[in-house]
Amino acid sequence: MTVLKENGNLSPNKKQVCYHLLVWSVFIVYELLCIAASVGLNGHYTHYFVYYLLYIGLFYFNAHVILNYSFHRSGKPYLIATLLILAEIIVFGALKVILDSVLQGGYNPSLHATMFTRAYLLSNLFRLIFFIGFSIAYWALLYVTHLRDQARQLEIEQLKQRNLNLELTNQYISMENAYLQNQISPHILFNSLNFIYYAVYQLSDRAGKGIMLLSELLRYSITAGNEKDKKVSLATEVKQVQNLIELDRLRFRDKRYLSYHQKGTLNELSILPLALLTMVENMIKHGECGEPDHPAVAELVIHENHLSFKTVNKKRPAVHPSTGIGLVNLRKRLNNIYPGQYELVIRENDEDYFAELIIQL
């Protein structure tokens, strides 16, 4: 009984079995009809069944064992195939002789005398060669089909890769266009801030200074990291930290108690942009910086190529719970630039919040 898939089609193995059974059935019926029409069927039908099993076994053994081994696993396929086919002929020829003897009723001197005549040996040899040749043609057809399928699969993979490259190119062009478009908006913004600065500065030195600091911070946050190594000088980052602290003091009319301390020289060290700035922004946003007895502190320590940046602040009762997305994004960016070379430590209790970034620059 044929097993069907859910869609009603035969599975590949079932199809192949059906095709092979059909071909062998047609071949055997054709041969038996030819024999019956020419000399008549003298043997019992079980004898023909056994003989055809022998030859069909020879067919598949030669194709799937002898030829597969010779051409896929040996270093000299043609020589190995020739030797193995000769050995195969001898073995299957001996099996044919044994079958003839058994099916004819066992040992019979007169029968054995006629079995080893030239005509008998040649007829069996030609029969074996016929099925082996048939098997070689079958194996060659499978091999050519396999090569065709491989070529088709390779062509499909090449088309997929070509489409992928085209898609990546289109994405790159889109990103480049978006980047160029995004440069227009900051340009307009900075020009507007410059105009507002010059318009306000004469009226309020404090407001004008605040606009100038804001403009510098915005420009830095947008343009920082455009260099090839995605880093900025440590001195530039520290300058923006100081600008952010100064802007916060201006905002609250100096009623803010936060300080920045530095130990060591910056030299020509570089750092991931906005790394220190993010930590200070987090301290200002979520910390209580208005108590003189409990000031917020940011401290940078440089020793050779070792950087330690700490922020400590009193916790402020949150009107809205913090998402912590700034520090989460910072950790992801640090993983990309300093894999295995940094440590970001966060500690807190009921009153205080402590963060420390350690980087081997």
In a domain? residue 87: yes
Ranges 10-19, 95-104, 124-133: which has the least confidence: 10-19
In a domain? residue 20: no
- Verify that 355 and 210 share a domain, yes or no: yes
pLDDT one-digit tens code per residue, 211-231: 788 878 888 887 776 666 678
pLDDT one-digit tens code per residue, 29-64: 888 888 888 777 777 778 888 889 999 999 999 999
In a domain? residue 106: yes
- Verify that 211 and 337 share a domain, yes or no: yes
Number of domains in the chain: 2
In a domain? residue 33: no
- Verify that 223 and 352 share a domain, yes or no: yes
In a domain? residue 214: yes
Give the list of residues 6+ apart from residue 222 with CB closer than 8 angstroms, or none: 186
Give the range of the structural domain holding residue 332, as residue numbers without chain letter. Answer: 204-360
- Verify that 229 and 353 share a domain, yes or no: yes
pLDDT one-digit tens code per residue, 101-115: 787 765 555 555 556
Residue corresponding to tokens 């220190």: 276
pLDDT one-digit tens code per residue, 158-189: 988 888 888 887 777 666 655 544 544 555 55
The domain that holds 339 is classified in CATH as 3.30.565.10
- Verify that 296 and 353 share a domain, yes or no: yes
d(CA 247, CA 2): 82
- C-beta separation of 327 from 282 below 8 A: yes
- Verify that 159 and 246 share a domain, yes or no: no
pLDDT at 359: 94
- Verify that 152 and 223 share a domain, yes or no: no
> Which three-class secondary structure state does DSSP give residue 321?
coil
Tokens representing 209 are 């200074």
- Verify that 351 and 275 share a domain, yes or no: yes
d(CA 317, CA 292): 17
Q: Among residues 163, 195, 218, which one ends one of the domains?
A: 163
In a domain? residue 168: no
In a domain? residue 224: yes
The C-alpha angle 243, 248, 254, rounded to 5 degrees, equals 110
Would you give the end-to-end CA distance of the chain in angstroms? Answer: 73
**Residue % of the chain over a pLDDT of 70:** 81
Q: Among residues 140, 163, 186, which one ends one of the domains?
A: 163
Q: Among residues 141, 163, 185, which one ends one of the domains?
A: 163
Band of residue 316 on the pLDDT scale cut at 50, 70, 90: confident
Put simply, whether the predicted model's pTM sits higher than 0.75 gets the answer no
- Verify that 221 and 303 share a domain, yes or no: yes
- Verify that 159 and 265 share a domain, yes or no: no
- Verify that 144 and 251 share a domain, yes or no: no
Q: What is the dihedral of CA 115, 117, 122, 124, to 10 degrees?
A: 0
d(CA 63, CA 57): 10
In a domain? residue 331: yes
- Verify that 157 and 269 share a domain, yes or no: no
pLDDT at 226: 63
d(CA 283, CA 288): 8
